[in-house]
Amino acid sequence: MNRKNIITISNVYKTYGTKVKTEVLKNVNLKIKQGSFNWIIGASGSGKTTLLNIISGLDTPTSGNVTINDNVISTLNDRELAKFRANNLGFVFQSHYLLPEFNALENVLMPLRIQKKKINKKTKKEALDLLSSVGLSHVYKHYPKEMSGGEQQRVAIARAIIGDPELVIADEPTGNLDSNTAKQVYDLIRELHEKYNKTFIIVTHDRIDPKKGDRTITISDGKIIKDVVY
């Protein structure tokens, strides 16, 4: 099936500093197809997290453009970007960023509140179904402090998907987990990708074993040096 490009990155540069300038991204050009599963890998300091932040609108390029679904997000102001992120993107970070005063179910529902959607029986069932799909239906009333690190990250993954985003972005999602739990989380992300047909972009330091259909984009010194679809 010929899928459209959901993301187009054109001639993106990112430079930090004024007196002493550090060029972190150097003429990056990249297209990502809808429904694809993408790894971004590279050594620490290679620019991969900066690229992810620019794709997600958490940072802006010094020059060049980022287009997501025909929206040139690199030209949006802060308010427009916040609205765009809330309605189109799901995030999973190295730290789970669950709100400690809310239980698992309430944390999963948070993106819908940000989207100003009504929280009713239907949306609660959707959240419970998502918790079930990540293997956590038994802890929906638990608070973050009552869950393991792996469970907390699973809640964060369910939260990333509930708003029906076009794109799910994960930045080192297993960075705080042991290797066995990390594998479980990556297996779960793959399952959710297949089930919900979302576009996934995952930045990782971990050694990965790409599967059929995966794409691995390797960054070094601010440039894409390898781009392979398996």
pLDDT digits (tens, 9 = 90+) for 68-123: 999 999 889 999 999 999 999 999 988 889 999 999 999 999 999 988 899 999 99
Q: Is the pLDDT of residue 23 over 70?
A: yes
Share of the chain above pLDDT 70, in %: 99
Helix, coil or strand: residue 8: strand
3 pLDDT band, cuts 50/70/90, is confident
Residue pair 19/214 in contact by the 8 Å Cβ criterion:
no
Return the pLDDT at 95. Answer: 85
Dist. CA 74–CA 61, nearest whole Å: 7
Full-model pTM: 0.90
1 pLDDT band, cuts 50/70/90, is low
**Phi, psi angles (nearest 5°) of residue 226:** -155, 140
**Is residue 133 in a domain?**
yes
Domain CATH code at residue 197: 3.40.50.300
167 pLDDT band, cuts 50/70/90, is very high
Q: Which domain holds residue 215?
A: 36-46+78-229
Residue 180 one-letter amino acid: N
Say which residues have a Cβ less than 8 Å from residue 190's Cβ, sequence separation at least 6. 37, 211
Return the pLDDT at 9. Answer: 97
pLDDT averaged over the chain?
92
Helix, coil or strand: residue 25: strand
**Is residue 25 in a domain?**
no
Return the pLDDT at 205. Answer: 81
**Is residue 86 in a domain?**
yes
Neighbours of 24 (CB within 10 A): 21
Residue pair 175/97 in contact by the 8 Å Cβ criterion:
no
- Which of the pair, 99 or 174, is modelled with greater confidence? 99
**Is residue 23 in a domain?**
no
Q: What is the mean predicted confidence (pLDDT) over 16-43?
A: 94
Residue pair 33/4 in contact by the 8 Å Cβ criterion:
yes
How many folded domains does the chain comprise?
1
CA distances from 93 to 54, 109, 146, 219 (A): 15, 17, 20, 19
Say which residues have a Cβ less than 8 Å from residue 116's Cβ, sequence separation at least 6. none
Return the pLDDT at 18. Answer: 86
**Is residue 40 in a domain?**
yes
**Is residue 128 in a domain?**
yes
**Is residue 216 in a domain?**
yes
Q: What is the mean predicted confidence (pLDDT) over 10-35?
A: 94
